[in-house]
Amino acid sequence: MPDKPWLTHTPPTAEKIPVEIARHGDTRVDDYAWMRDPGYPEVTDEKILAHLKAENAYREAVMAPLADLQETLFQELKGRIKDDDSGVPMRKGDWYWTWRFDAGAQYRTYLRIPLADGPDGDAATVLDENLLAEGHDFLAVRGLEAEPGGQILAWAMDTDGSEQFTIHFRDLETGADLPDAIPGTSGTFAWSTDRQTLFYLKLDDQQRPSSVWRHRLGADVADDVLVYDEPDPGFFVGVDLTLDERFIVIGCGNNETSEARLISADQPEAEARVVEPRHTGRLYDVEHAHGRLYILTDDTHPNRRLVTAPADAPGRDNWQELIAPSDDVYLSDHALFRDHLVVSEREAAVNHLRIHRLSDGAEHRVDFPEPAYSIHLVGHREFDTLEIRLVYHSLVTPPTVFDYHLETREKTVRKVQEIPSGYDAEQYVSEREWATADDGEKVPVTIVRRKDTPVDGSAPLYLNAYGSYGATIDPYFSTHRLSLLDRGFVWALAHPRGGSDLGRRWYEAGRLEHKENTFRDMVSVAKHLAAENYTREGRITLSGGSAGGLMVGATINRAPELFHAAAGHVPFVDMLNTMLDDTLWLTPGEFPEWGNPIEDEAAYRRIKGYSPYDNVTAKGYPHLYITGGLSDPRVTYWEPAKWLAKLRDLKTDDNAAVMRMNMGAGHGGASGRYEHLHELAEEYAFLLMIYGMSEAG
């Protein structure tokens, strides 16, 4: 193989067609604005399609000499997946529900078992995604929920990655699909307890879930009834059924303001009642049990408190505090069961579960052995239960499904992820470090490596982060990363400001006028990891997706010398142009996160100062592996395409720069469980190539 195989092929040269964009007395020139098809979301412009295909062809040519390595990596990745995997049956009503992967199958089959037969009884198929996927390059199924009696199944299906879902119905007693089909939805819905009525979310012209509609089985979809229409273009709408099946909850809001409405689940035609009118800057979420609402709110403290109120008088004047707010503990979520309240809370960048007994207020936390981990309440479908189902994992511990008894505190393991090719957790070590940011803040970073990987600065390091919207990425297990760890990589997960890892203040310190803290934190983390000899400066791959791609682009603009490579997955990089275009479906709802550069000059100047595309300059950049999706509605395909074109034009190095534009999928890439592995094997082969490690593959 040539020393730099990417130089043996000529990359596409994107034509420059300067377009002047004036705003707030400032004029910018965008040479690649032509890459946005004027007919979007349809992309039919032959020039645009030809350029994207040329980028794919160039990447394929660069990667062709690594075909054997990619196949080796693919077989490794596939070998760690149980071919005939299955889920743990979960009770709902008179049935146990579960799923399985048949050997060789790309998609799941969903099944159910009569309650009387027990969870190990004979299972009947209710939906086979593999059959639904026939004739399609992409499939995503959302929802999959039977009405409370268990006879009619509803599910939502997207076959092109555009996130426009059509809701379908099946009679599980006869196996026949009903003629009802509801297109143009978000895929989110909730059944009424009358067993005939479905509430669902319809997408508007900008693909925003903006309204709730009511459909009655057998009725013409054209006659469906509008239940709620959200007038604020920056608010997204949601709908759900409380676990005790008493209320349909219609929620609407953005990252700083929310409002909820209730409809009695047994009276689907009743008018929705507001819990508490919206107040800008105030968030709340509601659950229900025994005639009372349990409300998680930030009305008195950014880390939130939990209050209760009568369901028939839910306004703030009647709120009674149940769990007080704390400077150190962030209350992130809550779930209600017959006798217990389960609260997810975060302290010192670690997630905990608090169990609160409703009868007397007695509390305890669920104990876990590792210092950094991920714990989630999953699949809870029964209100009247003393056992909840949890999934626990860490950077070294495979996902473990267990049932937790809320009174005895007993953990019963139901499943541990099986890794057919073998895995020995004793060969790996996970560590928590705290990097000092340039303003003195301590930034958590969680690390995993093989125990025999030297900590002397010689190891390459893969650094991943997100850092926006208050989202947190807890330390999670991945069989995929073993292909890097076993080749001597260190893998690190940073928790910069912009997430909620250290509470709401951590989020507030990484949004709006404080957004650049996210990128400064990543520079500090990279320098800290080098100073602690996990790697050295210039030997790090920085990775992130979507808004994490914004983090990647802004950080390598700021300190490219720290990084050997950057992986930007569907990266939000043409940020200023996107935020100036309120015809795009996400833009109005993004203003609380970034600011409104359309109306606010200060926000315009601020975003312009870090928008990755706008700040590419003539200097050396790391090797670049970039992905995009032609039908991606969240980060439009032209963002990564324009970013790469500008980088190619201005960067002064001869490092590799390739892009995989998925022409048949959206934000999440390929949908089949094995198809995705081909894409991952390619990225890993690219990294091994540019680190000079491909011969050892």
Q: Angle between the 46-63 and 638-650 helix axes, to the nearest 10 degrees?
A: 60
Q: Which residues does 67 contact at the CB level (< 8 Å), separation at least 6?
A: none
How are strands ordered across the β-sheet holding 225-229?
Answer: 140-146, 152-158, 165-171, 177-191, 197-203, 209-216, 225-229
Is residue 310 reached through a cis peptide bond, with omega within 30 degrees of 0 on the bond before it?
Answer: no
CA angle centred on 536, ends 531 and 538, rounded to 5°: 130
Q: Among residues 258, 332, 430, 546, which one is catalytic? A: 546
CA distance 21 to 376: 46
Q: Which two tokens stand for residue 163?
A: 């996130």
Q: Do the beta carbons of residue 201 and residue 238 sit within 8 Å?
A: yes
CA distance 616 to 448: 32
CA distance 488 to 486: 5
Q: Is 632 a catalytic residue?
A: yes
Whole-angstrom CA distances from 290 to 48, 197, 308, 407, 586 are 58, 24, 11, 19, 38
SS3 state of residue 346: strand
CA distance 465 to 479: 18
Label residue 134 exposed, middle or buried (CB < 10 Å: 0-12, 13-18, 19+).
exposed
DSSP state of 272: P
Q: Angle between the 516-531 and 547-558 helix axes, to the nearest 10 degrees?
A: 70
Q: Among residues 480, 667, 671, 694, which one is catalytic? A: 667
CA angle centred on 273, ends 201 and 228, rounded to 5°: 25
Q: Which two tokens stand for residue 522?
A: 């990543």
Q: Angle between the 675-690 and 46-63 helix axes, to the nearest 10 degrees?
A: 60
Q: Among residues 393, 394, 632, 694, which one is catalytic? A: 632
CA distance 266 to 652: 66
> Which of 670, 657, 636 lies closest to 48, judged by CA?
636
Could you give phi then psi for residue 528, rounded to 5 degrees? Answer: -65, -45
Q: Is 162 a catalytic residue?
A: no
CA distance 658 to 7: 12
Q: Do the beta carbons of residue 406 and residue 386 sit within 8 Å?
A: yes
Write down how long the chain is.
Answer: 697
DSSP string, 565-605: EEEEES---SHHHHHT-TTSTTHHHHHHHH--TTT-HHHHH
CA distance 522 to 441: 12
CA distance 646 to 616: 7
Would you name the residues annotated as active-site residues? Answer: 546, 632, 667
